[in-house]
A = this chain, B = another copy of it.
Amino acid sequence: MIVYFRTMRTKDEEKRAALFEATVKLVNEIGFVASSVSKIAKEAGVSPATIYVYYKNKEELLVSAYSNIKLDLSKAVLQDFDDTLPIRDILKKVWLNMFRYILENIEYFRFIQQFAHSPYGSMVDRESLEQHFVQIRNVLERGIEQKIIKNVDRHILSAFLYHPITFLTNPPSTREPFELSEENIETAFNLAWDAIKL
């Protein structure tokens, strides 16, 4: 009985995984708009109708892919999170974790970037996703209390602490491309820290 059950589930999860990977791959290759249900199905090696066995509709397929990656990212970013370290060290750890994840999962990262700017971007429950990052927010608050970090609007802090990352990992293609070397990543963090520190 259990064997039978497992067989079913395995097959199930294999298709789910195939659909997830196909979705990410296609969005990276041809963009969000061109990634139609039938193309995703073909990429995953299933019939378009099969997608509707696993997801209620296209939106659910895409949002589910987004949520999966976001959760994965949040876990990676908080890896080895140690509340007792100095604030600068905590933020640097988070910063490096983030870059490592992006470098190792550039397709996933490109996907969530594209997702955020797609028509589906506004359909995700932001509140529930951002809760994973509440610990980082607390570190910033502590830094402000301890007069280590500038006491300015939190959006402004975000703009200099996190947002540059999305630019540096997706720079406009110019003649001289940007190299995501260890050194550059460290340097960039120094600028971020200089921006927010008191």
Q: Residues of A at under 8 Å CB distance from B?
A: 31-34, 114, 117-119, 122, 126-127, 130, 150, 152-156, 158-160, 163-164, 167-168, 171-176, 178-179, 184, 187-188, 191-192, 194-197
Contacts and interface: CB of A to CB of B under 8 A. Distances in A.
B156 A118 contact: no
Contacts of A163: 163-164, 167
A160 B117 contact: no
Main SS of the interface on chain A? helix
Contacts of A194: 194-195, 197
Nearest to A126: B172
A167 B159 contact: yes
Contact of A191 (B117, B152, B167, B178): B152
Nearest to A164: B159
A159 B175 CA distance: 17
A155 B171 contact: yes
Please provide the 9 A-B residue pairs with the shortest distance between their CB atoms, ordered closest to farther: A117-B117, A195-B195, A159-B164, A155-B178, A163-B167, A191-B195, A159-B167, A31-B119, A155-B171
